[in-house]
Amino acid sequence: MAEVLTQAAPAPQPLVALTEDEVLFRDNVRQFAEKSIRPKVKEMDEKGVFDHEIIDQFFQLGLMGIEIPEQYGGAGGRFFESILAVEEISRVDPSAGVVVDVQNTLVNNALLHWTTDDQKRRYLPKMSSNTVGAYALSEAGSGSDAFALQTRAELKGSEYVLNGRKMWITNGKEAGVFIMLATVDPSAGYKGVTAFIVEKSFSGFSVGKKEDKLGIRASSTCELIMEDCRVPKENVLGEVGKGYKIAIETLNEGRIGIGAQMVGLARGAWEYATKYAQERKQFGKSIGEFQGIQFQIAQMATEIEAARMMVYNAARMKDAGMNFVKEAAMTKLFASQVAERVASLSLEIYGGYGFTKDYPVEKYYRDAKIGKIYEGTSNMQLQTIAKLVMGGK
Ligand SMILES: Cc1cc2nc3c(=O)[nH]c(=O)nc-3n(C[C@H](O)[C@H](O)[C@H](O)COP(=O)(O)OP(=O)(O)OC[C@H]3O[C@@H](n4cnc5c(N)ncnc54)[C@H](O)[C@@H]3O)c2cc1C
């Protein structure tokens, strides 16, 4: 008689497995990025200006409110989809990737988790349909030491009056809504830090200098100036004195987004280099026939795969409600290292041509550098990881 075999439980999905809906979503974003962003990348980089038509298209495609529930006009998706969108767009243009990244992983994220019902009704429909957001924590004197911020918020009647300057604010030029971190009591240290929802139209608010940068040049990075800027009390986000918690928690998610930006960037550079290696001839054959080049292409592909698995796993952990702080820090640290290495090697595969602006790889090389700096420098990620792993987590 044949032995009856007991069936094992279905095997868990591989880390990089996507659902049918996710594959469809990713392919749609990829197609859009190829068709509508790719032709504009060089000019946007040269001019240092982001094309408004692309922002309009982001809104039309639902890419600016991916996790916002449908009842507020959003796409009702998961964090993982935001990550897929950032990766696919950054493959074509990391500047475009960060516009979508900041909107979804920082601004909408903060608004989804910390707003009152009234604030949800006032802000979520805008963020899904026509308003770019920005996240304003850093100042000239406070970067890594973010909670040493000096922007002051004083309660006067029914309003808070904000005074101070923010620096380095992504989307500063395009944004209509700002998540603004200020202190209600400088002597209280981080416990004075409070988050506000500030609109561009509020009196006393203005956008200052736009930085002229090495990379992600099309993404605006601006100073924000508040001179007796009047913010209604109803626009405190979360609780007074709890802004530090909002900043820490949103940036934890944001770091996975930067990981996705860096994986997309690395893939974009790698694809160009791999194609070029098959076309460029030296010594009577394509350079891709030399084992030295093949090994470089293989090494890069391996590193990109490893970084992507870290990004996807951290995003899945977030969607599953698990603690992902360590994984997010590791993801950003590693993906930004991979992006820099891959962009550099891709440029070398192009030889002298790679060093010119006639070919696309030098831009990826310039764009890669930011991954190690914003949303916490690599040293800050290492500090977080060390604290957690040495504490047994
Ligand atoms: C293009 C761009 C976009 C940005 N977008 C935003 C944004 O949208 N919103 C926002 O709020 N901010 C934004 N930033 C600011 C960014 O987050 C900060 O630049 C970053 O956190 C580093 O701060 P810093 O520049 O003051 O450098 P610093 O903090 O002065 O660091 C300088 C160096 O010292 C190291 N260092 C500092 N402290 C330690 C330590 N304890 N141990 C070891 N090493 C240390 C750092 O790693 C770094 O190498 C952006 C920056 C750039 C360049």
Ligand 1 close to Cβ of residue 382 (< 6 A): no
Q: Which amino acid is it at 87?
A: E
Ligand 1 close to Cβ of residue 370 (< 6 A): yes
Tens-digit pLDDT profile for residues 240-271: 999 999 999 999 999 999 999 999 999 999 99
Residues 333 and 381 sit within 8 Å (Cβ to Cβ): yes
From first to last of its 393 residues, the chain has per-residue pLDDT tens of 667 777 788 888 888 899 999 999 999 999 999 999 999 999 999 999 999 999 999 999 999 999 999 999 999 999 999 999 999 999 999 999 999 999 999 999 999 999 999 999 999 999 999 999 999 999 999 999 999 999 999 999 999 999 999 999 999 999 999 999 999 999 999 999 999 999 999 999 999 999 999 999 999 999 999 999 999 999 999 999 999 999 999 999 999 999 999 999 999 999 999 999 999 999 999 999 999 999 999 999 999 999 999 999 999 999 999 999 999 999 999 999 999 999 999 999 999 999 999 999 999 999 999 999 999 999 999 999 999 999 988
Q: Which amino acid is it at 283?
A: F
pLDDT of residue 8: 83
What is the number of residues in the chain?
Answer: 393
- Give, using CA atoms, the residue closest to atom 50 of ligand 1: 168
Residues 205 and 148 sit within 8 Å (Cβ to Cβ): no
The number of the ligand 1 atom at minimal distance from the alpha carbon of 166 is 11
Q: Where are the beta strands (DSSP E) in 290-369?
A: none
pLDDT of residue 2: 67
Cα–Cα distance, 346 to 340 (Å, whole number): 10
Q: Which amino acid is it at 355?
A: F
Ligand 1 close to Cβ of residue 224 (< 6 A): no
Residue 315 token pair: 């995003």
330: Cβ–Cβ under 8 A, 6 or more apart, which residues?
Answer: 310, 314, 381, 385
Please spell the DSSP secondary structure of 268-298, one letter per residue: HHHHHHHHHHHH-EETTEEGGGSHHHHHHHH
pLDDT of residue 1: 61
Distance (angstroms) between ligand 1 centre and the Cα of 146 equals: 9
The number of the ligand 1 atom at minimal distance from the alpha carbon of 172 is 8
Q: Annotated catalytic, 375?
A: yes
Catalytic pick from 67, 81, 362, 375?
375
Q: Tokens 């470089």 identify what position?
A: 296
The SS3 of residue 50 is: coil
Ligand 1 close to Cβ of residue 379 (< 6 A): yes
The SS3 of residue 196 is: strand
Tens-digit pLDDT profile for residues 267-308: 999 999 999 999 999 999 999 999 999 999 999 999 999 999
The SS3 of residue 161 is: strand
The closest alpha carbon to 104, from 56, 137, 68, belongs to 68
Count of beta carbons in the 10 Å neighbourhood of residue 105: 32
pLDDT of residue 89: 99
The C-alpha R_g of the chain, in whole angstroms, comes to 22
Distances from the Cα of 233 to the Cαs of 106, 160, 264, in angstroms? 22, 6, 40
Cα–Cα distance, 207 to 176 (Å, whole number): 11
